[in-house]
Structure 1
Amino acid sequence: MTATITLETLDKAGSFEAYLAEPANGAAKAAIVVIQEIFGVNAGIRRKCDQLAEVGYLAIAPDLFWRLEPGIELDPDIPDQFQAALGWMGKFDQTQGTRDIEATIRTARDKINGGKVGAVGYCLGGRLAYMTAARTDIDASVGYYAVGIDGLLGEKHAIARPLMLHIAGSDHFVTPDVQAKMHEGLDDQPKVTLHDYPGVDHGFATEFGKRRADEAAKLADQRTMAFFAENLA
């Protein structure tokens, strides 16, 4: 079952929409917050939610750009839309976005009667998954090709629950020097696991479009599902 639901902000001063996917039998084993790329809650993000519901999770993808413009939905394979997405990212308040993720976590937890909640994010969402791991009570988090983690290493000591990061080895947004800093800063953090995927670029695990690298995407997704099975049980 899928639906669009409305969530309140933490301070109750506003509300925003989210895409919800639930298991067909209605009995979710846990919940997962799916954190958008810079392209909004588009068809690819909704498909991520649907796949999680198919294997028994309740999945929620909040519209994090709602303060800028509700309902942004872009295609990264269309150049004008890709450039528009970069513009939205530049205007986005990531701290407020993390608070909206926290509000989503609370809603998700309520919907599964206090059970465990994970998060998985892509691109900007991968960065936000790291911030969520450091700043909220999320039970487990996964970030795909997260951007700018080298600037967040000062928060690594706040990560108290498991975090997995998938790194695209040929990511033109996350250059080799940044990848090296991620390993240097996080390899000794006992709650953090890093996986490298040599030769693939940013966006390799997208559901649709030209960016997908199928073999690496399937391996990363297998690792993600095993990670959630272990940490959200």
Structure 2
Amino acid sequence: MTLEIDTGTGLMPVHLWEPSSGTGPAILLLQEIFGVSDYIKQRAADLAALGYFVLAPEIYWRLDETELDESAPDLLERALAVVGRLDWDTAVWDSVAALEYLRGRDEGVATVGFCFGGGLAYNVAAVSRPDALVSYYGSALPGLLDLEVDAVSLHHFGDSDAYLTTDVVDQIVKTVDGPENEIYRYPDAGHAFDNPMPAFHHAAASALAWERTTAFLSHHLPPERGSR
């Protein structure tokens, strides 16, 4: 389902997946640099099947770049060009507007983000305090470590990530670690290892990280919470 929500400065297109139960907590799902791609839509469907309302906003909507050709040989270059034109602070507040839309359901909400969305989810968690945060290899994290995130959080990193090197991840880990937080590193996995594109995908790391993600969400934001 596609609808629009009011950001205060315009109507942002968002995609919504509902659980079969019709009730339950919500997840704000934030895209990679490739937009709300088939991969992101599949992850949204996976989460909805677990019992969550899932909302994925079109973060590029102000740039009129909501649909990137996923079959284009220069997809990565095009995506990098688009994200280079994006105003980060505006993207954060657009995401917060989406989070507040979900919070209005009063059944709990988590933020989940991949790559670009992993950093965006972290920033959103710092300013809007969801119940939980899941960040997959958040590419913007090195520049966000001065922010304070109170939400319990789960972070995934690949040890062969060319964008977030081992030294950088070490620094991130020192900053984001906490009593209830979970941080995992995956040997031989590179950046975007959960993405099914052959250039990125690491099957073993993807499967294990997803198992940990669903367990984390089930513990901190159980789907049955909404029906009680």
Q: Normalization by structure 2: what TM-score?
A: 0.91
The one-character-per-residue Cα deviations of 1:62-96 (angstroms, maximum 9, x if unpaired) are 00011111423342x74312101011111111211
Shift of 1:138: 1.0
SS in 2 for 1:223: helix
- Return closer, same or farther for 1:95/1:37 CA change in 2, 3 Å cut-off: same
- Return closer, same or farther for 1:139/1:225 CA change in 2, 3 Å cut-off: same
List aligned pairs for 1:107-186, cutoff 5 A.
Answer: 107-110=101-104, 113-155=105-147, 158-186=148-176
Counterpart CA distance in 2 for 1:205 and 1:120 is 13
Q: Is the 8 A contact 1:40 1:74 kept in 2?
A: no
Counterpart CA distance in 2 for 1:22 and 1:207 is 24
Counterpart CA distance in 1 for 2:77 and 2:130 is 32
List aligned pairs for 1:12-161, cutoff 5 A.
Answer: 12-27=8-23, 29-75=24-70, 78-110=72-104, 113-155=105-147, 158-161=148-151
Instruction: Extract unaligned runs of 5+ from structure 2.
Output: 223-228
- Return closer, same or farther for 1:209/1:23 CA change in 2, 3 Å cut-off: farther
Identity of aligned pairs, percent?
A: 33
Instruction: Extract unaligned runs of 5+ from structure 1.
Output: none
Counterpart residue type for residue 99 of structure 1:
W
Q: Is the 8 A contact 1:144 1:166 kept in 2?
A: yes
Counterpart residue type for residue 164 of structure 2:
V
The one-character-per-residue Cα deviations of 1:128-171 (angstroms, maximum 9, x if unpaired) are 1111221112111111111132221111xx21111111011111
Counterpart CA distance in 2 for 1:6 and 1:153 is 32
> Across the two proteins, how many residue pairs are aligned to each other?
222
SS in 2 for 1:6: strand
Shift of 1:207: 4.1
Q: Normalization by structure 1: what TM-score?
A: 0.89
Match of 2:225 in 1: none
Counterpart residue type for residue 19 of structure 1:
H
Shift of 1:191: 5.1
Q: Is the 8 A contact 1:148 1:174 kept in 2?
A: no
Counterpart CA distance in 2 for 1:19 and 1:208 is 22
Shift of 1:24: 2.4
Q: Is the 8 A contact 2:13 2:57 kept in 1?
A: yes
2:3 to 2, 5, 15: 5
1:192 to 171, 177, 181: 181
